[in-house]
Amino acid sequence: MYTYLFVLAAFCYAVCACLPSKNRMAISLGTLFGWLLHGGALWVDVVTSGSLRMGFAIMLSATLWISVAAYWLENRNFSLDGLRILVLPCAAVSVLLPTVFPGNLIPLDGKSALFPWHIAIAMLAYSTLTIAAFHAVLMALQESKLHTRQSAQKAGWFALALDRLPALLTMEKLLFRLIGFGFFLLTLTVLSGVVFSEELFGKAFKWEHKTIFTMLSWLLFGILLAGRKWRGWRGKTALSFTLTGFTTLLLAYVGSRFVLEVVLHRSVA
């Protein structure tokens, strides 16, 4: 019944991704409208009476939903048109995934009141580090373009969008601001999972694939922030750590659930 909300949200994202950057107001309003539709659809789909619907598609969709919000807010302070071209098409695809892969219902009866908070913080951490990964890709493209300058007449629309990005140093400051906040949220996610494992999930803490990948991602981002502070890491080193940490985090939950739900057809909580 609410499928049309997902479709409308995907349509708004797709249109806003294709609009010329000069239509700044239309892009902003269209993105906001799509984001509201996306959020409403997720709420109706995920929150049911006495249970939560979870799955790799819902997790990915929710992550991109928060990432779109981060882009929209960040774009009000800086011109990040190149980020729009990366984020909105991905959001348009992810918003439709729950209609194809609905996931499983997780009963909340007997679970701690901390459980929804753990899920919410985890999604915020995933989303913040997702937008950081998009940001890192943009920086890599921006840096590459500096070494292959071409005339404005020959440049494509994406190259022109890259030209409108802030300077690399500003982009780098934004990247580490996102990583710092994402690392803080990921730390809360890891701590709540370790300390309250039995209360949250009804079982003692286990070293499984999801835990190992999450801890590895946390370690990578921690090393990056420490290297930035004490060794002044930047440029390709920072981008490599960011994308590796993000890929590892993606494998921790979304990737493992995709294998279990879609490839192995197993119902998981």
Max Cα–Cα distance, the chain, nearest Å: 64
The residue among 254, 123, 248 whose CA lies nearest residue 189 is 123
Q: Which residue has the tokens 């701590």?
A: 191
Q: Quick check: 69 and 178 in contact, CB under 8 A?
A: no
Q: What is the pLDDT of residue 105?
A: 72
Cα torsion at 205, 209, 210, 216 (round to 10°)? Answer: 100
- Per-residue pLDDT of the chain in tens (269 residues, 90 and over written 9): 467 888 899 999 999 988 887 888 899 899 999 999 998 888 888 776 667 777 777 878 888 888 888 888 877 777 777 778 888 888 999 888 888 877 777 776 766 667 777 777 888 888 888 888 888 888 888 777 776 655 444 456 566 666 667 777 878 888 888 899 989 988 988 887 776 666 555 565 566 677 788 888 899 999 999 998 888 877 788 888 888 888 888 777 665 555 444 444 454 44
Question: 12 with 32: CB under 8 angstroms?
Answer: no
Decide: 268 and 261 in contact? Cβ < 8 Å. Answer: yes
pTM, two decimals, is 0.73
What pLDDT sits at residue 15? Answer: 93
The pLDDT value given to residue 12: 93
The Cα–Cα gap between 9 and 96 comes to: 9
Question: What pLDDT, on the 0 to 100 scale, is given for residue 158?
Answer: 61
Q: Would you state the pLDDT for residue 80?
A: 73
Half-sphere exposure of 68 (CA within 13 A, CB side): 34
What does the pLDDT read at residue 178?
A: 86
Residue 23's SS3 state is: coil
DSSP string, 166-211: PPHHHHHHHHHHHHHHHHHHHHHHHHHHHHTHHHHHSS-----HHH
At 147 the pLDDT is 67
146 vs 78, 103, 161, 164, 217, CA distance in Å? 20, 44, 13, 13, 30
The pLDDT assigned to 138 comes to 82
CA distance 57 to 264: 15
